[in-house]
Amino acid sequence: MKTKTYTIKQLAELTGYSRRTIRYYIQQGLLEPPAGRGRGGFYFDSHLHKLNEIRVQQEKGLRLAAIQELAKPDKESYPAPDRDVWIKYTIVPGIEFHIQRNLEEHEGRRILEIIRMIKSLLKGEHND
């Protein structure tokens, strides 16, 4: 069974929140970032449910600060599992380079240089 995914436009239409608000909630840590990057980013049912949950709490009169406080895990509860997001670069068909998104964001220039070097090395092998 394939996992249902949504674009930010679809998520906005389903929840009534604007794209800008959804991005703001991600920035504030109320919502997990999308999988993928840029226009290719996509969201899951968990994002949809979380946005609906936020809406219910807002309708009860809670402000965002209170909702954020409620979203923090209790110190005595089990910690939430980290969600690793990986970026995939196709070097050549059959060879991929995977890197964690947070590292890619900080070391993007170096990573692109590494990828160029690998492609150059592979290209040299094909010419020999």
Domains and CATH numbers, the chain: 5-71 (1.10.1660.10), 86-127 (no CATH)
Question: pLDDT at position 105, please?
Answer: 72
Q: What is the mean pLDDT of residues 9-37?
A: 91
Q: Name the residue type at position 16.
A: G
Question: pLDDT at position 48, please?
Answer: 94
Q: What is the mean pLDDT of residues 35-52?
A: 87
* Residue 43's pLDDT band (cuts 50, 70, 90): very high
Question: pLDDT at position 125, please?
Answer: 62
Q: What is the mean pLDDT of residues 72-88?
A: 59
60: its two tokens:
């009860």
Q: Which of 30-39, 54-63, 117-126 has the highest mean pLDDT?
A: 54-63
d(CA 4, CA 116) in angstroms, rounded, equals 34
40 against 60, higher pLDDT: 60
Question: pLDDT at position 73, please?
Answer: 56
Q: What is the pTM of this model?
A: 0.55
Classify residue 24 as exposed, middle or buried by CB count within 10 Å of its CB (0-12, 13-18, 19+). Answer: middle
